[in-house]
Amino acid sequence: VGQVSLLIGAADVVHADGAREPLRRGAAILVGDRVETSANGHVHVRFIDNAAVSVRPESVLEVQAYRFDAKNPAVNEVRFNVEHGTARSISGAATEVDKTRFRLNTPIAAIGVRGTDFIVQADAVGMRATVSDGAIVVGALGANCAAAALGPCGGADARLLTADMGRLMAEVRQSDRVARV
């Protein structure tokens, strides 16, 4: 579903079957793969719909689902999980028609997009996100925001963050039930 377009330093891919191998430029990325970067590692992945993800040093990103059908956008699905660290996501054609077909989860929060370029930083105690272009919806995982769902979380607990809002960030701390801007 994707290919490593840039590799700086050291990084590994852990496949769904548990096999681990060093990443190299041009390597294929499959659904179920985890990209793990070292302290000096930085990886860019270009996906089949021209989306891009940058996985920064000391980070782990899992590609949980990636389905793109230009003729049938209702079946498109993009799902990432940032276990810890920092990643930048630039949306591709899979979410152009229907923005609810994208989800990026962290251990404590979920991000849905509105056609976007954003950066997320996650660890065990919190999640922070900024938007360079477009908008995201951030919600704390819980009763109103299930990790298994697709698209942005809804309701009063979710917060919209747009690039037009200026230099703001969305944040969810471990004990939060509501995202803050």
Helix, strand, or coil here: 92? coil
Categorize the per-residue pLDDT at 52 as very low, low, confident or very high, splitting at 50, 70 and 90. very high
Contacts of residue 38, defined as CB under 8 A and 6 or more positions apart, other chains included, come to: 9, 10, 11, 57, 58
The reported pTM is 0.94
> Tens digit of pLDDT for each residue in 150-180?
999 988 889 999 999 989 999 999 888 889 9
DSSP, residue by residue, 9-67: S-EEEE-TTS-EEE--TT-EE-TT-EEEE-TT-EEEEEETTS-EEEE-TT-EEEEEEEE
Mean pLDDT (the chain) is: 94
Quote the tokens at residue 180: 């803050």
Helix, strand, or coil here: 107? coil
Quote the tokens at residue 28: 């294929």
The mean pLDDT value for 135-158 works out to 90
- Alpha carbon distances (Å) from 82 to 110, 155, 159: 10, 23, 19
Tokens 């430029």 correspond to 25
State residue 82's pLDDT score.
Answer: 98
Categorize the per-residue pLDDT at 141 as very low, low, confident or very high, splitting at 50, 70 and 90. very high
> Tens digit of pLDDT for each residue in 117-134?
999 999 989 999 999 999
The mean pLDDT value for 36-50 works out to 98
